[in-house]
Amino acid sequence: MKKVFAGWLSAVLVISAFTPTMVANETGASVTEQATALEVSRSVFSLTEARTVEVSADLGEGVNLEDVEFRFGGKPLSEWQQWTQGQSYNGDPFITVVEEPSFVEGTNQITAVLEFGLLYGTDDLSNRTIRTQYQQFIGDYELALVDAASGEKAAATVELNVYDEFKFYDELKPAIDEIFEAAEQDEDNDRYLEYQTVGKTVEGRDIHFVILARDEEAVDQYLNETLPTALEDPESLIEKLENDTMGDYQVPIWFNNIHPDEVEGVDVQVELLEKFALEDEVKFMNTDGDTEFEENLNVDEVLDDAIFLYMFTSNPDGRAANTRANAEGFDLNRDNAYQTQVETQQVNEVLSKWTPLSFVDFHGYVDGFLIEPATPPHNPNFEYDLLIDNMMDQANAMGQAGIANSELTSYFIAKDGYGSGWDDMTPAYTAIYAMLHGALGHTIEVPTLSQDGYNALVGSGLGAANYVHDNKDQLYKEQLEIFKRGVNGEDNRAVDEYYVNAAGEVIGRDRGDNDNFFPDYYVIPTDDKNQKNALEAYEMAEYLIRNGVEVEKTVKPVKAGGVNYPKGTFIVPMDQAKRGLANAMLYEGDNVSDWDAMYDPIVVNFSDLRGFDLEEVRVENVFDGKTQELEEAVVPASTVKGNPPKQILENSTNDAIRVVNALLADGKTVEVLTESKGKAEAGDFVVATNDLRPYADDYYFETQVFGNGKNAETEVLEQPSVAATGSAQLNFSLRQLGFELTDAADADVIVSDGSSFNADQVTGKTFVGIGAPALNAVSKSGLLPGFAYTSTGSRHEGLVKANVAEHPLTAGYEQEENLYVTTGSWISGVPEGADVLASFQDSDDFYLAGWWPGYEQAQGQPMAITAEAGETTFNLFANSLAFRAHTEHSYRFLANSIYDAVSVEAEVVEKGKGKGKKKQ
């Protein structure tokens, strides 16, 4: 028989008579009542499991049973109607009387039986419409038996929950504290428990994290001895394992949730913490596929092998709001590589610090009980041959325990269950990001939001722990082998058989003309001569350090690959344990367009998408003895040169845009050059030196003295009024740049990456459309005659070579750029009189990386245009300017479009003075 965690009371719960009770009514308010006790056989009811309750009360003498009625939350049961659709609750009552009230013979005691059925008509609330609504019904209610004639009432406080263990965000920390207190009160319990706040969310909530170990010494030994040795000299630990001289050591198992509206994943961790923190033995059901049997885990023995890490949810704001996204509108399970959000930055820094052996990410909801490993194509930066066998075995261990502890009857592994479309190519997902640290990374998806889904995840968590406990030495040895390959710079061909094309043919890692897939070094210049964007160079170095990658800086000039690199150049040596993670973020990427389906965009390539110069160096030991470790990449302060009246503020970093917006908000004058002058280029800004100087410590920007610019042509910027329609990510990116957003009706500029388009609102304004949805909206409006676009698919993406025209809207960009497209589109019809701002290069090798079946059709086609129609300016981009806030290199296309709309023509600037008139 399957183990059932129903949470039913084993005895009748009796509420003391005449005790004031505070309960939630149907609107969530509280009411205080003096009531006789209503005895109930259970006090917890579920939205995902029908339950009956026996009730009993004495309402006094002379009660006519025909006058007796039940109320729940102050309302008759007839008013508690089932959900039908949308926001409508007008079906049959979901609470019914199944045994009418009757007297116990010879007494005034009235008994009855009620059934709390399914409010939504199903025990699975994973439907996305239902998922946004059901939590309003969770809480404490008054269940009352009332004599309508006399007004006498017997009442009890009962709870309605989605499943018994569900907790709101505000209930998580008290539940954790309760476990800690119980452990402290147990004199025989000497296990080590540590609570940490990993950081704060966008809205200021704590990110809860708990460490559970045999003792504090186990934690210290792992973090300060075992792990550093594993990363620096893994071969020494491998030899100890092979010689059986490793001695006492523990490895981390990390439990995780990142989609908090996939609710079981949060609550399951509380139960797993409670079991391993408080119990001596953990019993659970298991199966070998044919027979079910009871498994008995001795917790002390498990803690001799494992340290448990609980990241209850990395998105507390989403838990509080019952949303998948964080407060900025980002799906954090797409941000683990980009790390644009504070939550993923903080959580992944802790993950990098711990480098777990096993990583279990609890999710829902798909058809079937799904467990990773994933389908091909696989990210070539994995040492996949050292991961896959153990991941398959652990997946089976989790699946078997999951079905044995629930009413689910089967599970499937994505790698075997799907041909494609559930790939591990992108490191955006948490479990796949963990694999780059050498972890056995699993996403687990239960099929239902229900008590049963909860039970299955509890079982899978226990199965994961049991698997590590049984196989620790073997699992750790293979993680150490991953680190060894990195430290030795070894590109082992054993991985190649797992890298296949869509036809199933082995293609291996794409090494091009090189013997090694990985370079010897990545070089990130920081000097003006070799680096076009020092701000992003520093931020990249800090990103790598935060994610556990070793970064060095030169202490003397070095010549490598024919380039002279000065002192202070950042070096990423690739003979290190986590070289796979570094390479996944820094290499160009792969073209996997032959596959029929991919789950999510795969291009990461920080260099091209963030816009800094990066060089591969394939010369062994060229930097040996010429570098030192970089512990922190602190962006240097900006330099405001000399003390002339004005400075050129170069349009070269996003911080320059932020400074311009801050100056405009403060009422300062900012001009923009309309023609190149000396070293200054069209699109650079002209700012009074005294106005600019206060920003030098807080922003990174580059300046030139405006000493010889008396004949320069400029336009004066007004403070822009900007509206964003479409994605929350676009809104975030514009606010990142310092633009204050308003409603479309009040804006000078409307920026959109969505499908909504109001023709009346764009008149007299600039409309900036990004990607296929916005291009389609403009095309359908008919406001721009001659405009047409083509898209092969809204999810097709790619990094491409582009030619960029010289134009005010492309200021700050080079003639040849690598740009990014996420909606598989290009401009196929250019209106008469329009300017083409950028085009896909007309070369056979224009497509660099990504998944874009049919990309060949875009070769040589226009990518971005600007056109006038009536009183509206249309700036239309097929490339992605603000995709998930990662495409920061394209942000200045946005800023240029916005500033162009609010620039004022100025007369020739002479001696720092000039008058202007509004552009026509």
Residue 234: inside a domain, yes or no? yes
Domain boundary among 602, 629, 656: 629
Instruction: Assess contact for 168 and 320: CB atoms under 8 A.
Output: yes
Q: Which residues pair with 647 in a beta bridge?
A: 687, 705
Which residues, at least 6 apart from 844, have a Cβ–Cβ distance to it below 8 Å? Answer: 859
The amino acid at residue 790 is: T
Which residues, at least 6 apart from 608, have a Cβ–Cβ distance to it below 8 Å? Answer: 588, 799, 818, 819, 820, 889
Instruction: Assess contact for 318 and 218: CB atoms under 8 A.
Output: no
| CA-based nearest residue to 691, from 646, 638, 641 | 646
pTM score over 0.85: yes
12's tokens: 């009748």
**Same domain for 140 and 221?**
no
Q: Which residues pair with 95 in a beta bridge?
A: 116
Please determine, for residue 90, whether its predicted confidence score (pLDDT) is greater than 60. Answer: yes
| CA-based nearest residue to 518, from 419, 440, 607, 620 | 620
**Same domain for 609 and 680?**
no
Residue 514: inside a domain, yes or no? no
Which residues, at least 6 apart from 782, have a Cβ–Cβ distance to it below 8 Å? Answer: none
**Same domain for 136 and 189?**
no
What CATH number should be reported for the domain holding residue 401? 3.40.630.10
HEC sequence for 69-88: EEEECCEEHHHCECCCECCE
User: Comparing 10-24, 258-272, 616-630, 694-708, which segment has the lowest mean pLDDT?
Assistant: 10-24
**Looking at residues 625-649, what average pLDDT do you find?**
94
The amino acid at residue 92 is: D
Which residues, at least 6 apart from 7, have a Cβ–Cβ distance to it below 8 Å? Answer: 44, 46, 164, 165
Q: Give how many domains the chain has, as a whole number.
A: 5
Residue 509: inside a domain, yes or no? no
CA distance 596 to 582: 28
625's tokens: 């003895």
CA distance 385 to 495: 5
423's tokens: 């790939």
**pLDDT-derived band at 627, boundaries 50, 70, 90:** very high
Please determine, for residue 19, whether its predicted confidence score (pLDDT) is greater than 80. Answer: no
Report strand pairing: 95-103 vs 109-116: antiparallel
CA distance 548 to 364: 30
| CA-based nearest residue to 914, from 674, 555, 728 | 674
CA distance 560 to 563: 5
Tell me the per-residue pLDDT of 450-507, one tens digit each, with 9 for 90 and over. 999 999 999 999 999 999 999 999 999 999 999 999 999 999 999 999 999 999 999 9
Instruction: Assess contact for 649 and 692: CB atoms under 8 A.
Output: yes
**Same domain for 464 and 316?**
yes
Rg (CA), the chain: 32
From first CA to last CA, the distance across the chain in angstroms is 80
Please determine, for residue 16, whether its predicted confidence score (pLDDT) is greater than 60. Answer: no
The rounded Cα 669 to chain-centroid distance in angstroms is 39
Q: What angle do CA 469, 471, 472 make, to 5 degrees?
A: 70
**Looking at residues 711-719, what average pLDDT do you find?**
91
**Same domain for 624 and 747?**
no
CA distance 725 to 425: 31
618's tokens: 């394939």
The amino acid at residue 162 is: V
CA distance 384 to 99: 61
**Same domain for 736 and 819?**
yes
Residue 6: inside a domain, yes or no? no
Q: Computed from CA positions of residues 395, 398, 401, 404, in that sequence, does the dihedral angle turn out positive or negative? A: negative
DSSP class of 223? I
CA distance 372 to 441: 8
**Same domain for 328 and 458?**
yes
Length of the chain: 920
212's tokens: 């559970």
Residue 498: inside a domain, yes or no? no
CA distance 285 to 765: 66
Side-by-side strand order, sheet with 39-40: 39-40, 51-58, 109-116, 95-103
The backbone region for 376, taken as left when phi is positive above 0, alpha when psi lies in -120 to 50, beta otherwise, is beta
Please determine, for residue 28, whether its predicted confidence score (pLDDT) is greater than 70. Answer: no
Domain extent, residue 565, equals 521-629
What CATH number should be reported for the domain holding residue 768? 3.40.50.880
HEC sequence for 489-557: CCCCHHHHHHCECCCCCECCCCCCCCCCCCCCEEEECCCCCCCCCHHHHHHHHHHHHHCCCCCEEECCC
What CATH number should be reported for the domain holding residue 96? 2.60.40.10
User: Comparing 331-345, 709-723, 873-887, which segment has the lowest mean pLDDT?
Assistant: 709-723
**Looking at residues 580-609, what average pLDDT do you find?**
98
CA distance 31 to 11: 27
Please determine, for residue 26, whether its predicted confidence score (pLDDT) is greater than 50. Answer: no
**pLDDT-derived band at 906, boundaries 50, 70, 90:** low
Residue 31: inside a domain, yes or no? yes
**Same domain for 155 and 193?**
no
What pLDDT does 104 receive? 96
HEC sequence for 45-63: EECCCCEEEEEEEECCCCC
Domain boundary among 596, 629, 662: 629
CA distance 456 to 451: 9
What pLDDT does 677 receive? 84
CA distance 110 to 68: 10
The amino acid at residue 670 is: V
Residue 585: inside a domain, yes or no? yes
CA-CA-CA-CA dihedral for 626, 628, 632, 637, to nearest 10: -40
366's tokens: 């798909």
What pLDDT does 561 receive? 87
CA distance 14 to 28: 24
Q: Computed from CA positions of residues 795, 801, 807, 812, in that sequence, does the dihedral angle turn out positive or negative? A: positive
In 183-302, beta strands by DSSP E: 192-200, 206-213, 251-256, 281-287, 292-298
Which residues, at least 6 apart from 582, have a Cβ–Cβ distance to it below 8 Å? Answer: 522, 544, 549, 572, 574, 576
DSSP class of 352? H
Mean pLDDT of the chain: 94
**Same domain for 771 and 890?**
yes
437's tokens: 């640290």
CA distance 630 to 571: 9
**Same domain for 750 and 835?**
yes
The amino acid at residue 271 is: E
**Same domain for 141 and 213?**
no
What pLDDT does 35 receive? 73
CA distance 343 to 349: 10
Domain boundary among 112, 127, 161: 161
What pLDDT does 708 receive? 52
277's tokens: 């923190």
**CB contact burial 270-309 (16+ within 10 A = b; e otherwise):** bbbbbbbbbeeebebbbbeeeebeebebebeebbebbbbb
Q: How many CA atoms lie within 13 A of 876 on its CB side?
A: 32
For residue 365, cis peptide bond before it (omega within 30 degrees of 0): yes
Residue 500: inside a domain, yes or no? no
What pLDDT does 707 receive? 67
**Same domain for 728 and 846?**
yes
CA-CA-CA-CA dihedral for 507, 513, 519, 523, to nearest 10: -130
**pLDDT-derived band at 678, boundaries 50, 70, 90:** confident
What pLDDT does 679 receive? 86
What pLDDT does 870 receive? 93
CA distance 229 to 250: 14
CA distance 827 to 341: 32
